[in-house]
Copies of this chain bind each other. A is one copy, B any other.
């Protein structure tokens, strides 16, 4: 199967322009699963919640998801992308999966980064795996990389490909995603953004270097940090079904769950 990412340079606040840019870069692709960055349609650096009120959209009836569904259907694509979601007076940093057959799934980011906490609500739904064209897809968003629990739960639930829309600003995140692939023997696709956003007295530079990683931790393809970039590779999903890291080691059967109990205890620090 063909999988890949579309690394973008979103312009803050220009939803229609950003969606058109993605549409244009995707125009020659078909029959693939493609991941786009977090908040690819709005940009990242919200200054206040009224901006979010204006730029966010409901998943089922919003402009961005509507356009992406049309592209997915017309070009036989499965698309995973990040948007600002508006839902019952709350806002979520949401990853959306639209399939070529018209199905729609969402994941609302659970681990919010820094100032996102000022505007977004954290997702509360459990990590879910979605079977699309016979392949099991799990979603996580950006800073979730720092919590090994997320990828682990998704992998234990059967995820074979981790789709990871991101707006990364720290250089080591992509190395950590290689670790996530290795320790779970899953494919991971991190779609990062590029560019610098300056708003009021804030400035962030995003690190690009989007990548597709195989279950052995090999980077199958990656982008640079300066250009918008579409990269697609052929993968054999069977590799992710094999959890044997040696003839005597099965990554999941070897887990010592009785010793892991402290992982699910509430923190009292």
Report if A175 contacts B (CB, 8 A).
yes
Report if A27 contacts B (CB, 8 A).
no
Verify A257–B261 contact, CB threshold 8 A: no
Verify B148–A152 contact, CB threshold 8 A: yes
User: What's the Cα separation between A111 and B254 when bound, in Å?
Assistant: 7
Report if A146 contacts B (CB, 8 A).
yes
Verify B252–A257 contact, CB threshold 8 A: no
* Closest Cβ neighbor of A246 among chain B residues: B114
Please tell me which one of the listed residues B143, B247, B249, B257 contacts residue A263 in the complex, with CB atoms under 8 A apart: B257
Report if A230 contacts B (CB, 8 A).
no
Please tell me which one of the listed residues B115, B178, B247, B255 contacts residue A147 in the complex, with CB atoms under 8 A apart: B255
Given A111-B254, A247-B114, A152 contacting B263 (CB threshold 8 A) = yes
Chain B residues near A38: list those with CB within 8 A: none
Report if A266 contacts B (CB, 8 A).
yes
User: What's the Cα separation between A71 and B247 when bound, in Å?
Assistant: 40
Residue interface mask A51-74, B partner, CB < 8 A = 1:
000000000000000000000000
User: What's the Cα separation between A148 and B260 when bound, in Å?
Assistant: 10
Residue interface mask A134-171, B partner, CB < 8 A = 1:
00000000010011110011001100000000000000
Please tell me which one of the listed residues B157, B179, B250, B261 contacts residue A262 in the complex, with CB atoms under 8 A apart: B157
Report if A127 contacts B (CB, 8 A).
yes
Least CB distance from A103 to B in Å reads 23
**Chain A residues engaging chain B, CB cutoff 8 angstroms:** 110-111, 113-115, 117-118, 122, 124, 126-127, 143, 146-149, 152-153, 156-157, 172, 175-176, 178-179, 182-183, 217, 243, 245-257, 259-267, 269
Q: Known contacts A114-B247, A118-B248, A156-B265; can you find 20 more A-B pairs with CB under 8 A? A: A110-B259, A114-B249, A117-B248, A122-B256, A126-B259, A148-B152, A149-B255, A149-B256, A149-B259, A149-B263, A152-B263, A156-B267, A175-B175, A176-B182, A179-B179, A243-B269, A257-B263, A257-B264, A257-B267, A260-B264
